[in-house]
Amino acid sequence: MALDHYLTLGRSGLRVSPLCLGTMTFGEEWGIGAGERQSRQVLDRYRALGGNFIDTANSYNHGHSEKIIGDYLSEEPSRRQEMVIATKFFGNMQSGNPNAGGCGRKNIVWSCEESLRRLRTDYIDLYWMHCWDYHTPIEETMRALDDLVGAGKVRHIGFSNTPGWKVSQAQMLAAMRHWEPAIALQLEYSLLERTIEGEFFPMAEEFGLGITPWSPLRFGLLSGKYRRGDAGEPSARQAAGMRNLDDSCFDIIETVAAVAGELETTPARVALNWVCRQPRISSPIIGARTVEQLEDNLGCLDVCLTDEHLARLSAISRPALGFPHHFIERSPTFRNNGLTINGEKADTNPMAMPESGSLY
């Protein structure tokens, strides 16, 4: 696999790289990012290797992330059409103004205009709802987004950090009312956070949605820097994630490190490659403050995990999905009752009815 081996995102014709460049670290306002010069170097290197998918948000470093990208793209006329630019709305960008955040029509239209200004472009390739706004009817959000698509200011839409049932409702409304549907989901997913496999994976398949995971290294906890009994000096975000780490999480971290040792590569590359190899995953989002970090992460595309490695990593990190998933897993026995249906062979149900049918 290579960065210029492109994929179509969800049920669309939008071609994107197998790894998306996340730009939350573009700008230094939050104290975790890089300045304009370093950020431009990262963009140069990503483009040079064939990367075309850039993810940002209106709120990243108070809008500075979008401005860095916009200034960079505007230097050469061809750059804008070469790149797929994704940004988000939701975060409140004007203190004291309740309508400057969320997913109401007023904020969506204003946020879009402001993002277009900072990005120095007249359209956004993929416009994400950054989070579900439970104060706003989803009908209002979907209609506003459909209007932006109709106006040519947005090409495609997607959902991030939104419950599966709400995404399903939005997609059905779009189908019934001939509005623009979402083509992708942006959700947290890694070897340390796999619970989206329960509801989101089958929903994404049903609705033709691509999944672009954020934090595939779980805030860097899968990078190999943090081991059982030796957490080092984690950042504030890493420390927040570490509060939920238990022995089973460190078992996963140590298994990743062991596989990396066998393949003579880094734990980060192993963890990223595992995410890339999962069904329904389209383009994991990787972040980088420096070119060196970018190239280290991109090296995951050269890792060759064997079937045994994949099975070992999947087994140690298998999530507890809760009801009704375990019940459904056991259902073939009393549904099939010893028969094979669509290639699925089931045991005979010891409580099944006699061959003649119902007793009553």
Structural domain boundaries in the chain: 7-316, 330-360
Helices within the chain (DSSP H only)? 36-48, 64-74, 77-82, 105-119, 138-150, 164-177, 196-207, 236-242, 247-263, 267-276, 291-298, 307-316, 325-329, 331-336
pLDDT classification of 259: cutoffs 50, 70, 90? very high
In contact, 198 and 326? CB cutoff 8 Å = no
The predicted structure's pLDDT at residue 75: 95
pLDDT at 357 over 70: no
Q: Dihedral sign, CA of 239, 268, 210, 112?
A: positive
How confident is the prediction for the chain on average, in pLDDT?
93
Catalytic residue among 6, 46, 60, 189: 60
In contact, 1 and 18? CB cutoff 8 Å = yes
The predicted structure's pLDDT at residue 355: 67
Give the CA distances from residue 176 to residues 159, 179, 278, in Å, rounded to whole numbers and listed in that order: 19, 8, 31
- Measured distance CA(167)–CA(180) in Å, rounded: 13
The predicted structure's pLDDT at residue 213: 98
Question: Among this protein's residues, is 60 annotated catalytic?
Answer: yes
Instruction: Tabulate helix, strand, coil % of the chain (nearest 5).
Output: 45, 15, 40
The predicted structure's pLDDT at residue 15: 98
Residue corresponding to tokens 């940004």: 87
pTM, full prediction: 0.92
The predicted structure's pLDDT at residue 48: 97
- Measured distance CA(140)–CA(142) in Å, rounded: 6
Element holding 210 (H helix, E strand): strand 210-211
β-pair type (84-89, 53-55):
parallel
Give, in words, the CATH class of 7-316. alpha beta
The three-state secondary structure class of 155 is strand
The mean pLDDT value for 251-270 works out to 96
pLDDT at 161 over 70: yes
In contact, 185 and 210? CB cutoff 8 Å = yes
